[in-house]
Amino acid sequence: MKVAVVFDSPHSGWDHSDHEERMELETSVGYADEAQPEYQVARALRDRGHTVWLVGAENDPGYVSQFLAERAVDVVWNAAEGFRDTDALDFLLPAVLEADGYSYTGAPPQGLVLTRNKAVTKKILQHHGVNAPSFRTFRRSEKVPRDLDLELPAIVKPLRLDASVGISKASVVSDPGSLAERVAFIHERCDDDAIVEQFIEGRELYVSALGNGDKLEILPIVELVFDKCTPPAARIATRAAKWDDPYRLRNGIRSVFARPLSRVARERIEESCRVAFRTLWLRDYARFDLRLDHDDRVWMIKANANPYICDGHEIAAAALKAGIDYPSLIDKIIRMAARRRTSH
């Protein structure tokens, strides 16, 4: 197939040939850093025999429309993580693709908008019977009242940011004063509204889903495990705990396939993810961040509509555990999108 990989690019004036050259460098043997997701996806698609175009939008969504029309592209891989360096605009390029009538991978704009807002996500999930922590939100103009009716400890997060931005050990608060200070920190330092969630003590699980409708496959579960000496309130997925390898090594933090789970827990996890996938308008692939408490109750913490899909990370690792190597995973997803092909 003729496939365009569309993404938000920081490189002014770059065209396909510039990105292709960069892709060759970043995906070459011996490259020191991890290749960008769009380049890893493009390389995998090419390895599976597809004709691939790299389309960096930079500041002009009209460039994407023009480029795709001139190349008679069959299907698009949406690798956009935002627009104009703004994560909250991750729906914009898919909306352009939707308007132009292209089939593309991943969630539609409504799914991206719904899951971007952690409070809206939780309201929808709770309405459909999925267990989610209780919460309160505070806009940047609001302060925390002294008589806040919310069980402590709680965890304070940015409402719309992802990748654990703004989350550290200080995010878990156990008294009103610390809570108010952390909400102010989110408002000022993260420039976002704040969500204060009931803190769920338990196991940190990442569940990847692949497919659509009745053919949705729940992949092997990944668990973030901590050193036994780590207190429960510190067992959270901070940026350092997820991305800083020296920090992880010092603190005994590892990402492993989940330790034994009871039959009841597995059934609850699968049902929660299937319901969330459908009600949040997700497609093709997604990842859910869960907590499993000591009573085997499943708590949906976050739904990731178009999650990080680089080789070796949660979804790719779970797929490999299920017998699907990285090029096959990428090929499988692009073929799912192609089956939604519309006229354009």
Look up the CATH number of domain 113-131+200-324: 3.30.470.20
What is the per-residue pLDDT across 120-157, written as a single tens digit (0 to 9) for each?
Answer: 999 999 999 999 999 999 999 899 988 888 889 999 99
* 304 token code pair: 């990731």
Per-position b or e across 102-124, b if 16+ CB within 10 A of its CB: bbbbbbbbebbbbbbbbebbbeb
* Domain 135-198 annotated CATH 3.30.1490: yes
Dihedral, CA atoms, 269, 271, 273, 277, nearest 10 degrees?
180
Per-residue pLDDT at 343: 40
Ranking 220-224, 242-246, 328-332 by mean pLDDT, the lowest is: 242-246
Helices (H) and strands (E) counted in the chain, each on its own, are 12, 13
Residue 72 CB-density burial (10 A; 0-12 exposed, 13-18 middle, 19+ buried): exposed
Per-residue pLDDT band at 58 (split at 50, 70, 90): confident
Please report the pLDDT score of residue 151 as a whole number: 86
Query: Is the separation of the CB atoms in 87 and 81 below 8 Å?
Result: yes
What percentage of residues in the chain have a pLDDT greater than 70?
99
pLDDT at 213: 92
What's the rounded mean pLDDT across residues 96-102? 95
| pLDDT for the residue numbered 149 | 81
**Domain range list for the chain:** 2-105+331-336, 113-131+200-324, 135-198
The residues near 222 (Cβ < 8 Å, ≥ 6 apart) are 205, 206, 207, 208, 255, 256, 257, 258, 314, 317, 318
Contact of 147 with 209, CB cutoff 8 Å: no
Cα dihedral value 240, 241, 242, 243, nearest 10: 40
Instruction: Record the pTM.
Output: 0.94
Could you read off the pLDDT of 252-299 as tens digits, one per residue? Answer: 999 999 999 999 999 999 999 999 999 999 999 999 999 999 999 999
pLDDT at 342: 54
pLDDT tens for each residue of 27-54: 999 898 999 999 999 999 999 999 999 9
Q: pLDDT tens-digit profile of 69-87?
A: 999 999 999 999 999 889 9
265, 297 Cβ separation under 8 angstroms: no
How many whole angstroms separate alpha carbon 57 and alpha carbon 96? Answer: 11
In angstroms, the Cα distances linking 12 to 15, 18, 39, 57, 60 are 9, 11, 17, 9, 10
**pLDDT score of 341 more than 80:** no
At residue 85, the pLDDT reads 85
What proportion of the chain, given as a percentage, has pLDDT over 90?
Answer: 90
Tokens of 344: 């354009």
- At residue 235, the pLDDT reads 95
CB atoms within 10 A of CB 264: 12
| Interval 162-200: pLDDT, tens | 889 999 999 999 999 999 999 999 999 999 999 999 999
In CATH, which of 2.60.40, 3.40.1130, 3.40.50, 1.20.1250 is domain 2-105+331-336?
A: 3.40.50
**pLDDT at residue 344 in the model:** 39
pLDDT recorded at residue 243: 86
